[in-house]
Amino acid sequence: MQDAAVKNALRIARDSEPRTIQQQIQVCEIPAPPFNESVRGRDIERRFKELRLANVRTDAVGNVIGVRPGAAARPNIVMSAHLDTVFPEGTSVKVTREGNRLKGPGIGDDCRGLAVLLAVIESLNAAHVVTPGTITFVATVGEEGLGDLRGAKALFEEMAGQIDKFVSIDGNGLDIVNVGVGSMRYKVIYQGPGGHSYGNFGIANPIHALGRAIAKISDFEVPASPKTTFNVGRIGGGTSVNSIASEAWMEVDLRSADVGSLKTLDEKLHAAVRSALEEENRRWNYRGRIHVAIETIGNRPGGQTPAQSSIAQTALAVSRSFGFEESLREGSTDANVPMRLNIPAITIGGGGSGSGVHTINEVFDTTDSSQGTERAVLLAIALAR
């Protein structure tokens, strides 16, 4: 922090925070629904080119990539933020502002990360900082929900052996995530012949089987440490109130930072689903027998970057240099992928604060948000060596 160019870069980041916030709003008002991030991606690609990054490109899955060469090609640090939101196509993405409060879907998660990513590049360029190693900047697709980290997975396949360190900027605050919470996600579908609720009464009912399964899942006992969770997030099926359904389905999310605990929970889910099927068929003496399909719709790998690793300790040291008393925590982000591959990786917040994440009423408070931008700039410099 005593280096003149570094001091200048931090000053520029601080003084340019109003521009960073404006870019945060501009990016956020470009829709990026699940599996359709291309319009926002083209905007980021344009901005990367205007910032004179090298080899700017959009890869086969939609990740936008640009390189800021250092004095040497290695180490190569990747700094990323994700393009996608959880909101379906047609959601209004207009951002409103009242004082320090910005309100709009995705304004913090992850429009803040994208804005800070751009601010890091701008600050390094304006201060003429030459890093010993190279920094590759990436705006990824598919971080949220059923996107299943497809952008990060594709990135590490394409650049296998070329990435030395990875930092994701995701959301607000000043957290540092070094433990990647893994998840398994399923769509469970019960199917049968269906029929009239009166005329065909006495045959097995997929909705009843679904209810049996949900009841079993709700009774699961899971460890508090390591934290292990389950959730039935969506259900559907049926034709009418006076029809025995021919199909009923649910989507289930299982999570844990511990591989063993997640595996145990996964086995319990499959057993519960099969048991509910057998109970429903047996209840009606196997008349109108139903069957079940279990489709994997998400597999987010878990992993961990050790607390004593160089990247984690550097992030903590950078935070302390600004007076932040930050600790390490768990999360589920793009960094899960390199963690599973044993590549040094963390996720950091982009500063500011917020509420209502993953709702249309999401709020980002810009109070002291420049702290997040400055920290990201210093961390980029510290790691690119």
pLDDT one-digit tens code per residue, 235-265: 999 999 999 999 999 999 999 999 999 999 9
Same structural domain for residues 280 and 233? Answer: yes
Q: What is the reported pLDDT for 322?
A: 95
Task: Verify that 268 and 346 share a domain, yes or no.
Answer: no
My answer on whether 77 and 176 are in the same domain is: yes
pLDDT digits (tens, 9 = 90+) for 44-99: 999 999 999 999 999 999 999 999 999 999 999 999 999 999 999 999 999 999 99
The answer on 211 and 156 residing in a single domain is: no
**pLDDT in the model for residue 326:** 80
Q: How far is CA 242 from CA 198, 210, 291, 294, in A?
A: 8, 18, 21, 27
> Residue 33: its pLDDT value, please?
97
Do 53 and 131 belong together in one domain? yes
Both 283 and 314 in one domain: the answer is no
- Sorting pLDDT into bands at 50, 70 and 90, what band is 171? very high
| CATH code for position 105 | 3.40.630.10
Shared domain check, 113 and 83: yes
Q: Which of 270, 300, 330 is the last residue of a domain?
A: 300
Q: Which of 252, 270, 300 is the last residue of a domain?
A: 300
What is the H or E stretch that residue 211 is in? helix 206-218
- Are 243 and 337 in a shared domain? no
- What pLDDT score was predicted for residue 283? 98
Mean local confidence (pLDDT), 7-25: 98
* pLDDT of amino acid 95: 98
Say yes or no to pLDDT of 325 above 90.
Answer: no
Between CA 149 and CA 374, with CA 160 as vertex, the angle to 5 degrees is 65
What residues make up the domain containing 311? 4-181+302-383
Rounded Cα–Cα distance for residues 204 and 279 (Å): 10
Q: What pairs with residue 65 in β-bridges?
A: 57, 138
> Quick one: pLDDT at residue 307?
96
Q: How confident is the model at residue 10 (pLDDT cuts 50, 70, 90)?
A: very high
Express each pLDDT in 283-314 by its tens digit.
Answer: 999 999 999 999 999 999 999 999 999 999 99
In this prediction, residue 48 carries a pLDDT of 98
Residues 150 and 241 in one domain: no
Tell me the per-residue pLDDT of 173-203, one tens digit each, with 9 for 90 and over: 999 999 999 999 999 999 999 999 999 999 9
Number of folded domains that form the chain? 2
**Cα–Cα distance measured from residue 76 to residue 137, given in angstroms and rounded to the nearest whole number:** 10
Q: Is residue 107 pLDDT above 90, yes or no?
A: yes
Domain boundary among 255, 270, 300: 300
Same domain, 36 and 128: yes
Do 187 and 265 have their domain in common?
Answer: yes
15 and 89 part of one domain: yes
CATH code, domain carrying 208: 3.30.70.360
